[in-house]
Structure 1
Amino acid sequence: MSSSPASEAPVPSPCCRRCCLDEQDVCLGCGRSLAEVLEWNGADGARRRQIIEAAAARCKPRLPWR
């Protein structure tokens, strides 16, 4: 019985099927840039985790007056 470290676990796509790009080519659904979306399938687990972290930072709630 072998166990994989968490860093080797499969990283599922953050896509939530609400794809719409803003003026900076960032998806309003998942927060990934267009370049990150295109890179996703060829990215390894470490890179996917980096993409998810960057997307999460972009998705922080925006205040309506900003």
Structure 2
Amino acid sequence: MIDRPQSPCVADCALDARAGLCTGCGRTLAEIGEWGGATAERQCAILAKLPERMAQLAAGQPVRL
């Protein structure tokens, strides 16, 4: 069993309308909404996508979801 990871929320919430992502944590609105009820495995899967998304946002590149 995987331990539940800490939420990636940094309390700097703003939606990038172009990418459909929170500019603070890189999650989609659907991922933010499901976080509390998601399994630890699902939370880890979401977390694994965030570094690349945040790098793409920072570089002004299209974000691949």
Measured against the shorter chain, the TM-score band is 0.7 to 0.9
- Structure with the greater alpha carbon radius of gyration: 1
Q: More strand by proportion, 1 or 2? A: 2
List runs of 5+ in structure 1 lacking aligned partners.
1-6
Q: Return 54-63 or 9-18, whichever deviates more.
A: 54-63
After the TM superposition, which segments of 4 or more aligned residues of structure 1 sit over 2 Å from their partners? Answer: 61-64
2:44 match: 49
Give the aligned CA root-mean-square deviation in angstroms.
1.7
Q: Does 1:14 align with 2:8?
A: yes
Q: TM-score, normalised by structure 2?
A: 0.77
What number of residue pairs does the alignment pair up? 59
Q: TM-score, normalised by structure 1?
A: 0.76
Identity %: 36
Q: Does 1:38 align with 2:63?
A: no
